[in-house]
Chains A and B, each alone.
Chain A
Amino acid sequence: MTTSVHEDVTLSRRGHSRRRFLHHVGAASLAAGTLSFRDVLSLQAAELRKRGKSMILLWMQGAPSQFETFDPKPGTPEGGETRAIKTNVPGIEIAHDWTETAKVMDHVSLIRSMTNKEGNHQRASYQLHTGYVPSGSVKHPSLQANVAQQIADPTSDLPSVVSVGGGRRGGSAGAGFLGVDYEPFTVDQPGRLPANVKNPVRTDRFSGRRDLLGKLESEYATRGAADLVADSKKIYGKAADLVLSPEVKAFDISSESDNLQERYGDTDFGRGCLLARRLVETGVTCVEVRHGNWDTHFDNFERTAELNGVVDPAMATLVTDLSDRGLLDDTLVVWIGEFGRTPRINGRGGRDHFPRCFNAALAGCGVKGGQVVGSSTKNGSDVADRPVTVPDLFHSICHALDVDVNHENMSPLGRPMKIVEGGSVVEELFA
């Protein structure tokens, strides 16, 4: 059933305009007393949303060093000064800064054999967000947008995709050709209400203004702008829902205990992770929390120590907090950056770009914790065992979230595009 609606679209070579499509099918099916496009999508989404799955992406912007995070190589020239520490899972050791995450390793599955070819930040970030390499001719939807389209609750007051930190459309791909419904809602300063969500006038006056706007709009609609007015009404409805919704409280973390806030850390990333938990708890499907800059071409060891000090407590607390609240079973946490860093330590004490072998960490939503998938060679220069590609990772994420990777959306040029092209599920993650 997932593809049927879209097959209709393929029939029309020029059927790439969403509105035009709505017109055709909408009018025809309404006349026939059948469901509209939107209704079908809503039904589908509601059906899947019952399972209430969601994803939190911890995006390590700039590409984190695998040696200083989850694949330390102490005692080798490549490993540098980074030591390895034990975790609460016998046999799994991670870099010495990650003391808090070491305590939740039983929830976490590490992938030490991520491999890719793209070593340019922008292109790799795009690829790790969309599953596709960038192309001028089509803006691919992010995986989050695709996931939201499949499983988000369309009746929710809150946006289905939220991005925390990094600016509007900051580096990550947005909804691409899936359109405004799945465009990430950006939070610049985690912990506070997002920009312009706070209503500057009394609630009754706000409603009065909206009534007045509605009346005045009807004139323009009857003059021939009915479609535009209808779209605008939909968007203003969503915006007003957000403004007036008690759920918007989810964006404000001040009601959380001081103790918990401290454990997440007094940092934007810490507050972002706490916000992410509150949002998925309230029904948001995909949250991305971004932290950087991991691009440590200089002074790798000093700088990663600082970054680790921010990310480790926040990530560990997020996993514990989700688990304590029974949310971890339905929430997938993914930690990753655009690629890894070179085994060779350069003349400035830094590490350069290295997509050939890097790390990802996953927790929750059916992922079996306390294990390592794949391995790197002794000095980290290559994958030794079980290479995992970007499509493999995306397959696995979709598998955890019950999203059909073969679902096809029409690109604006009329080319059907699967959510994930190629690759297969990393079965070990779910064993």
Chain B
Amino acid sequence: MTRFRPAVRLLTLTILAAATTVGVKAAEPDSAEVAAKVDRAIHEGLLEAGVGVAPPTNDEDFLRRVALDLAGRIPTPDQVLAFTASDDPAKRVKVVERLLDSDEYARNWSRYWRDVIFSRATNQRARLVQPRFEQWMTEQLRENTSWDLVATELLTANGDVRENGRVALMYAHDGDASEIAAETSRIFLGIQLSCANCHDHPYDPWKREQFHQLAAYFPRVRVRPVVEDGRPRSFEVISFDRAVGGNRGRSFDFAQAAPLLVRRYDKNGDRKLSQDEMQGSPLQRLADRLFDRLDTDGDELVSVEELQAYEPPVNIAERTRTEHLMPNLENPAQPGTRIDPAFFVSTEAAARELSDADRRLVLAQQITEPENVWFARAYVNRMWAELVGEGFYAPVDDMGPNRSASFPAALDALSDGFTDSGYDVKWLFRTITRTEAYQRSLRTPEPGQTLPFASAVPSRLRADQVYDSLVQALGVQELTAGRPGGDRMMAYRGVAGPRAQFTQLFGFDPSADKSDVIGDVPQALFLMNSDFVNRAIRTNAPTRLGTLLYQYQDNAKAVEQLYLITLARKPTEKELRICLDHVESREHRGEAYEDLMWSLLNSTEFVSRR
């Protein structure tokens, strides 16, 4: 009987994974060409439907949009003025490059992925790994690690959650095979498979068994406490390959270890182990319970061959189970049917009996290989929806296969380009921001307009984007600045730091349909009434607004500056008039401006992307 040698296989796969990435990277597709192809596809579709496209956005709106999208904050007044004044025809492409090179870009998108993964966390202690995940993900984005490698790392990682951010996805679901499978499919393939957990998918051709075949890549993932000095200090994600003896939780391969074990514990030189000889060996517990099953020839001794032939019974107890069982719906008390890993997109079944490390690596390989179009498509659709405001598919993580995409040719062009680029994350940002579809202006949708992408769509900013924009507009370091006690807003239990508390209050699941994200009452109350906001806009103190009023005695100029600070644009004539009217109607100039800044910070525009 040939046995699988995990170490060899692992090595092969690593080389394979590295080879595909490096190999493809050589011929990077041209961003401008792909962008043009995408625009042609969209344009043709809209033309056919008789929908006119909105004109290109102006420089102010473009800069705010792209700064929020890439760096996660609004541009400063100086940046706005310099950008609008520049007559460099390539300034839009150049500013994208500058933003992609910034640390803010890496942090912004790292936080985005943090929200994607943790908004659906079923392990509510998941927060423990967040700082490390953010740190790790930031590094990947800064280094521009290709998306297939990021996915591979997330799918294969083991380690301490306080040390290794790569374990985010495994830990977010406490090592639960079904949850990890559902999320893997949702995040990396844009396919919602979890309905198939209990029944065949109602709309798509996925069968219940296929869901469980995906879950069968993860039954050996375990999360367990890291205990130090008798106290739980952290948690770690580990591979649990064989439940044997005192060797709890460590990976253990009978076939490999059998000769060694027999040599080590055989005391009388008969090259077999008696039950007595097994005392004190890693096989002790097994021998105590199942000696008869090991000793197949009944000679009261266990040989190397007998050990190698031993098939551990499929364990019913969840803790020691190493194979995935599909629950028996008719009779939930039954252990269910053993299912072996197989990837539902390809027809090729994975080998049985793989170690945890191999299973997960094989899956990562199957998911990220260029033949699997869902991998690139899911990423492209998600990024496009985030940047353009609407996806080819909505929601972003539910693509089918029986759904139809809007403008499939455009999606294909981008997905092919992304695949050809070697899943180059920055390449995709570059390409999308270059499209006319991205650069359109806002407008009121034409009546009966059902197709997306004819104009820009305003959408709510993510919590971190609001936080960074607020901090920047107010000219403070952090939201705690100048706030001596008394404000309960920031006193939520169990979270540390003003940003974490703010994102708790303003956070939402970034995979949600954008049109469903609309804010809530506590958020409004924070911006309206919090001590923090109201202190930071006082004009009788050296706040940013106080300084501004001192610098700009002329009201029209002061209002213009205030708009640049908060909304990163100059006011329209009508807005200027409304503001000046307000200032004139108030006795106290300072109070009037406090009201103005309050209104701008509480405006829909401030918390949305235009």
A residues lining the B interface (CB < 8 Å): 13-14, 16-20, 120-123, 134-137, 139, 159, 166-171, 179-180, 183, 185-186, 188-189, 192, 194-201, 205, 208-209, 212-213, 215-217, 219-229, 231-232, 235-236, 238-240, 242-243, 412-415
Check A216–B599 contact: CB distance below 8 A.
Answer: yes
Residues of the B chain whose Cβ atoms lie less than 8 Å from the Cβ of A169 = 504
What 7 new A-B contacts, CB under 8 Å, besides A19-B515, A208-B595, A212-B578?
A: A17-B515, A183-B520, A212-B596, A224-B455, A225-B604, A228-B604, A236-B524
B524-549 to A contact mask, C-beta < 8 Å, 1/0: 11101111001000000000000000
Chain B contacts of A192 at CB under 8 A? 488
- A242 closest partner in B (C-beta): B521
Cβ-based interface call for B151 (8 A) = no
A to B CB contacts below 8 Å, 27 in the list: A16-B513, A123-B122, A134-B122, A136-B183, A136-B186, A137-B195, A159-B521, A166-B493, A167-B494, A168-B504, A183-B520, A188-B488, A188-B491, A195-B525, A195-B530, A196-B528, A196-B529, A197-B529, A212-B578, A213-B598, A213-B603, A219-B574, A220-B604, A225-B605, A227-B515, A232-B607, A243-B525
Residues on the A chain within 8 Å of B596, using CB: 212
User: Given A122-B122, A168-B504, A217-B604, A137–B598 Cβ distance below 8 Å?
Assistant: no
On chain A, the residues within 8 Å of B529 by CB distance are 196-200, 243
Question: Shortest Cβ distance from B333 into chain A, in angstroms?
Answer: 10
- Complex: how many Å from CA A267 to CA B124? 27
- Asked if B102 CB lies within 8 Å of chain A CBs, one says no
Give CA–CA (A159, B524) in the complex, Å.
14
Shortest Cβ distance from B588 into chain A, in angstroms?
A: 10
Nearest CB on B from A183, distance (A): 6
Q: Which of B452-492 contact A (CB under 8 A)?
A: 455-456, 458-460, 487-489, 491-492
Q: Are A185 and B602 in contact (CB under 8 A)?
A: no
B394 at the interface (CB under 8 A from A): yes
Chain A contacts for B445, CB-based, 8 A: 224
The interface residues of chain A lying within 8 Å CB-to-CB of B513 are 16-17, 412
**B395 x A236 contact (CB < 8 A):** no
| Docked CA distance A197–B488 (Å) | 11
Q: Give chain B residues whose Cβ lies under 8 Å from the Cβ of A208.
A: 595
Q: In the bound complex, how far is the Cα of B492 from the Cα of A168, in angstroms?
A: 7
A196 B195 Cβ-Cβ under 8 A: no
Q: Tell me the B566-610 residues at the A interface (CB within 8 Å).
A: 572, 574-575, 578-579, 582, 591, 595-596, 598-600, 602-605, 607-608, 610
Contact partner of A197 (CB less than 8 A), chosen from B525, B604, B608, is B525
Give the contacting residue for B522; candidates A168, A209, A222; CB below 8 A. A168
A217 and B603 in contact, given A159-B521, A413-B195 (Cβ under 8 angstroms): yes
B520 and A13 contacting across the interface, CB-CB below 8 Å? no
Q: How far is the CB of B186 from chain A (nearest CB, A)?
A: 7
- Beta-carbon contacts under 8 Å, B114-136 to A: 120, 122-125
- Nearest chain B CB to A367's CB is how many angstroms away? 31
Can you list the 7 inter-chain pairs with the closest CB atoms, starting with the nearest?
Answer: A224-B442, A196-B525, A167-B493, A239-B524, A122-B124, A231-B518, A137-B194
Most A-side CB within 10 Å, residue of B195, B489, B604: B604
Distance of A374 from chain B, by nearest CB (Å): 21
Q: Which of A136, A186, A212 has the most CB of B within 10 A?
A: A136
Cα distance, A217 to B489, chains bound together (Å): 26
Indicate which residue in B195, B525, B595 contacts A415 across the interface (CB closer than 8 Å).
B195
A186 to B523, CA, bound (A): 12
Is the Cβ of A200 less than 8 Å from the Cβ of B534? yes
B residues in contact with A220, CB < 8 Å: 603-605, 610
Interface assignment of B200: CB less than 8 Å from any CB of chain A? no
Do A136 and B582 touch (CB < 8 A)? no
B179 part of interface (Cβ distance < 8 Å): yes
A residues near B492, Cβ cutoff 8 Å:
167-168, 170, 188
CA distance A17 to B518 in the complex (A): 12
Any A CB within 8 A of the CB of B182: yes
Is B442 in contact with A223, judged by CB distance below 8 angstroms? yes
Interface residue ranges of B297-333 to A (CB < 8 Å)? none
CA distance A242 to B459 in the complex (A): 26
Q: Return chain A residues, CB-CB under 8 Å to B202.
A: 415
Q: Which residues of B contact A14 (CB under 8 A)?
A: 394
Assuming the contacts A199-B529, A213-B599, A228-B458, asked whether A223 and B610 have C-beta atoms less than 8 A apart, the reply is yes
| B529–chain A nearest beta-carbon distance, Å | 4
What residues of A have a CB within 8 angstroms of the CB of B460 in the complex?
228
Measured in the bound complex, the distance between the Cα atoms of B566 and A118 in whole Å is: 49
Are B195 and A170 in contact (CB-based, < 8 A)?
no
Q: How far is the CB of A71 from chain B (nearest CB, A)?
A: 25
Asked if B346 is at the interface of the complex by the 8 Å CB criterion, the answer is no
